[in-house]
């Protein structure tokens, strides 16, 4: 007799919505908090404890893991992957959450499509180019791109 797998389904579970939030199914969101006027595109997963500030858009195909906080008026484009586990023990930390790292994205941050965001802090008013891999904290407003991402141009304040 063949084995019967356990089938779960993408769903909306225990999500705290601000006012005027829109999302496009199928999405998988659980235990997270979305501020007023947020938008979440299709084929997105947002995990537990994530917070997303007012007016931020999370576009299609993006994955936001636990331990990520995103500020207000951010634009997270398509296919962006956030990361909380650096495989520091030569592989996944699995349940050892003391090994997970957090990510904090400021306000008015725009992250281009297919970018990869390791656990970092990014200050306000930053643009991350499409396809970039961000491996270090960013504390100066500007445009960053490449793998690993480097400052391309400052944005005068």
- Sheet with 63-64: list strands edge to edge: 12-13, 27-30, 44-46, 63-64, 81-82, 116-117, 133-134
Q: Does 41 bind a copy of itself (CB under 8 A)?
A: yes
Within residues 15-34, the interface with a copy of itself by CB under 8 A covers 16-26, 28, 34
Within residues 81-140, the interface with a copy of itself by CB under 8 A covers 81-83, 87, 90-92, 108, 110, 112-114, 116, 118, 125, 127, 130-131, 133
In this structure, the number of other CB atoms found within 10 A of the CB of residue 92 comes to: 12
Distance CA 87, CA 106 (A): 25
23, 43 Cβ separation under 8 angstroms: no
Which residues lie near a copy of itself (CB under 8 A)?
Answer: 2-10, 16-26, 28, 34, 41-43, 45, 57, 60-61, 63, 65, 75, 77-79, 81-83, 87, 90-92, 108, 110, 112-114, 116, 118, 125, 127, 130-131, 133, 143, 146-148, 155
């Amino acid at each position: 007799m063949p084995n019967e797998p356990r089938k779960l389904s993408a769903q909306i579970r225990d999500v705290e919505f601000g006012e005027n939030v829109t999302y496009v199914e199928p999405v998988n969101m659980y235990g997270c908090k979305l501020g007023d006027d947020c938008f979440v595109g299709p084929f997105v997963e947002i995990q537990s404890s994530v917070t997303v500030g007012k007016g931020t858009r999370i576009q299609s195909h993006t994955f936001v893991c636990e331990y990520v906080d995103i500020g207000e008026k951010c634009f997270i484009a398509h296919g962006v992957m956030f990361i909380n586990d650096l495989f520091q023990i030569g592989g996944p930390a699995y349940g050892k959450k003391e090994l997970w790292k957090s990510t904090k994205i400021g306000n008015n941050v725009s992250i281009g499509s297919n970018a990869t965001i390791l656990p970092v802090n990014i200050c306000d008013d930053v643009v991350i180019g499409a396809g970039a891999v961000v491996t270090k904290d960013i504390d100066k407003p500007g445009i960053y791109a490449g793998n690993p991402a480097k400052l391309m141009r400052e944005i005068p304040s």
